[in-house]
Amino acid sequence: MISEKIPQPILRQAKDKFIPVTIRIGKEGITDSVVSELSDQLSKRGLVKVKANRGLLSGSSERTQAFEGLADATGSRLVLSRGNTAVFWSGRS
């Protein structure tokens, strides 16, 4: 579930449509390389935007489970999830 204790400045940044998508989840799905890349990017910057290819995650509940699982695997927090796009936060300001 999306955390409720996320600072307002982080929420505002996450909702900015100009944050570039830096990780794409392809037809292989969430692999070890996706998890490792997200962890690396989170250590370098606070917010990372991830997008799943269209048709990969069908249904809202499947997307939510996948993005929450990715957050758990990386020790990050899911800030925003809209459609096939999610924004993760490292937890540090």
Report the chain (93 residues): mean pLDDT per 10 consecutive residues: 73 92 91 94 94 84 90 94 93 73
Domains of the chain: 8-89 (3.30.110.60)
pTM assigned to the model: 0.88
Closest CA to 85 of 4, 20, 7: 20
What does the pLDDT read at residue 4?
Answer: 59
* 7-11 contact pairs (CB < 8 A, 24+): 7/93, 9/93, 10/46, 10/47, 10/79, 10/89, 10/93, 11/79, 11/80
